[in-house]
Amino acid sequence: MSGLNFVDSFVTFLALLGPQKILLSFDEASRALPPRQARVLAATSSAAAAAVGVVCALTAPWLTSFFHISYPAVQLAGGLTFFIYALTLLFGLHPTTEVVVEQPEGTPVHPIATGFRALVLPYVVTPLGVSAVLVEALSGAGVAWRSVVALGYVAVAALDLLCVLVLAPFVRRVHVTIREVLSRLLGLLLAGVGVSIFLQGLVGLGLLPHYSPH
């Protein structure tokens, strides 16, 4: 993608990590929280997601070199992991809403911390997001190039935060059956995205020379 600019990176990350991917996950993670704690959860998770994206974008060449990871390997791993997560949505498993962490006896678990852990996989350190950041950052050269990628990621995280703060109360009022239908529809769409990225990784390895995503 030799002509990458801020708009290109923003649109790419918006399609992969935009509010349409976050609202249902946030609703599940914050359903038991009062409004103030829900807002704190939204702000902290969005800030953490933005920080992860910036670090991955700026250090992409060193990360992939240190771990000896190629472009196709990033695509295969990201696509497969995201496909598995999408299947949990599709079949209504919701594994991220039931995180169990051992605590010393008598030490209560803070509800915001529980909600934050529930958002780690779908939002804070989403495999698709990390994969997209690495691929975009490695598609060019120089700090300026990677800074544009990082800025696009931060902009999408900020938009996610704004939409969560504005729309989450309305999503919470939606009947549980409608939420489940939307969750399964989202799972189906994300499964398709995961398969597409996985196939692109196979193309990069030369195993599908005639495959075209369009």
Is 213 a member of any domain? no
Q: What is the pLDDT of residues 13-57, one digit of tens each?
A: 887 788 877 887 888 788 788 888 889 999 999 999 999 999 999
Residue 213 has pLDDT above 70, yes or no: no
Q: At what angle do helices 176-204 and 19-30 cross, to 10 degrees?
A: 130
Is 212 a member of any domain? no
Is 147 a member of any domain? yes
Is 186 a member of any domain? yes
**Total domain count for the chain?**
1
Is 83 a member of any domain? yes
**Residue 213 to residue 158: CA distance in whole angstroms:** 30
Give kind and range of the element (H or E) at residue 78.
helix 71-90
Is 209 a member of any domain? no
Residue 187 has pLDDT above 60, yes or no: yes
The pLDDT > 70 percentage for the chain reads 86
For residue 135, give its domain range.
Answer: 6-100+109-204
Is 52 a member of any domain? yes
Candidate from 141-145, 179-183, 195-199 with smallest mean pLDDT:
179-183
Mean pLDDT of the chain: 80
Is 211 a member of any domain? no
